Amino acid sequence: MRRLVVRFTLSHLLVAVVGGLVTFVVVWWLAPAMFDQQMGLGPNASGRGTGQGYGQALRASFAAAITNSLIVGTLTGAVVAAVSGLLLARQLLRPLARVGTAVGELARGNYTHQVPVPRETELASLVTDVNALGAELQATEERRLHLLSEVAHEMRTPLTVIDGYVEAMIDGVLPAEPERLGQVSTEVRRLRRLSDDLSALSRAEEGRLNLAIGPVDLDSLTTGVVDRLRSQAEDAELTLTAVAGAGTVQADADRTVQVLTNLVGNAIRATPAGGRITLTGSRVGGRVSVRVVDTGEGLAPAELDRVFERFYRVPGSASVSDGSGIGLTVSRAYMRAQGGDLTVESAGPGQGAIFTATFA
């Protein structure tokens, strides 16, 4: 009784039997009376003798014929209803069987399996959702494999450098001098940054960031970032300034500092000597933002969205070998986790870029 095909078949059979019984009762009750009325055999009939006896016999024969016919008809209807119910149930449940097969394929990792969409509206909606789920799982799996490949590629260079230096020192080819050890330490720090950024990105995308949202003086925070990075900008012969105007916002101070520090660091690496980097806070209506404007290498239109992709680096960029390659990805994830966003504008290569951190 737990199988739908059995329930569908029994429901058809029940409907046929109930309909047959109702028809039998109604006909059995009405047919003799109507026959008597038509034949003039009622209690007030004037006929007597042989004619009336013949009428009564004819009435009994008619009632027996009607009863037998109804019994045969009801049984025949029940059999036909059971067979047709079984066939219709199988036809109706065939798409559900295909859905079950598709779910099994998805569980086994075959995300390309698609189910033909049936004609029935409700089943078509279910099948469409299952197919969409398979496509989304396929896309997720492709992103996962791509990410693993990218991480392996990013780790390969520093690990190769570290392995080469350490092996050369063990063999006595290179002396264990501070300069050599410093290069090993640089690669170790690069691996640590990659690990930290990947961990932060994972937490942000999974919604597991522990945000401490509260009132933040954005102008003071921006000035602090500029003061901390000014010496780095001066070493690169750049002018780094901050312009107040954002006021107080609801945000996570630590995450915001990380975002602005990353944006300024990228701008320093992308701006040639003699350039300028300006952090400008603004409040227009309910929109609060900080713009990081540089006079650096700029971006082509096709690169405006791609710079936020994991491990994407602008071809020919002076900073192509620096950082973990996912700093902007993490920064955008931080801003969106706070209810804001991070966008970029550029007039083209060689004309600088403007990164805008918008707060809710």
Tell me, what's the pLDDT at 285? 78
In Å, how far from its chain's centre is CA 58?
A: 77
Take residue 351 and report the two structure tokens written for it.
Answer: 């004309």
Tell me, what's the pLDDT at 294? 93
So what's the architecture of 213-359 in CATH? 2-Layer Sandwich (3.30)
Tell me, what's the pLDDT at 277? 94
Provide the residue type at 65 as one letter: A
pLDDT tens string for the chain (360 positions)?
Answer: 456 566 666 776 777 777 777 777 777 776 666 666 666 655 554 445 455 566 667 767 767 777 777 777 777 777 777 777 777 777 777 777 788 888 888 788 787 888 888 777 777 888 888 888 888 888 777 777 777 777 777 788 788 888 888 888 888 888 888 888 888 888 888 788 778 777 777 777 666 777 888 999 999 999 999 999 999 999 999 999 999 888 899 998 988 998 999 899 889 988 999 999 999 999 887 789 999 999 988 888 888 878 887 767 666 555 444 555 678 888 888 898 888 999 999 988 888 999 999 997
Task: Please report, in angstroms and rounded to a whole number, the separation of the first and last CA atoms in the chain.
Answer: 56
User: Beta-carbon neighbour count of residue 337 at 10 Å?
Assistant: 18
Residues 6+ positions from 123 with CB-CB distance below 8 Å: 95, 96
User: Beta-carbon neighbour count of residue 99 at 10 Å?
Assistant: 19
Backbone phi, then psi, for 206, in 5-degree steps? -90, 0
In Å, how far from its chain's centre is CA 62?
A: 71
Whole-model pTM? 0.56
In angstroms, the CA 125 to CA 122 distance is: 5
Take residue 142 and report the two structure tokens written for it.
Answer: 């492709």
User: Beta-carbon neighbour count of residue 253 at 10 Å?
Assistant: 17
In angstroms, the CA 199 to CA 182 distance is: 25
CA angle 192–194–199, rounded 5-degree value? 95
pLDDT in tens, 101-132: 888 887 887 878 888 887 777 778 888 888 88
Strands (E), 67-212: none
CA 98 → CA 36, 38, 106, 125, distances in Å? Answer: 59, 59, 12, 14
Residues 6+ positions from 14 with CB-CB distance below 8 Å: none
Tell me, what's the pLDDT at 161? 85
Quick one: which of 342, 304, 330 has its CA closest to 196? 330
In angstroms, the CA 73 to CA 56 distance is: 25
The residue ranges of every structural domain in the chain are 4-110, 134-205, 213-359
Tell me, what's the pLDDT at 35? 65
So what's the architecture of 134-205 in CATH? Orthogonal Bundle (1.10)
Quick one: which of 196, 191, 147 has its CA closest to 309? 147
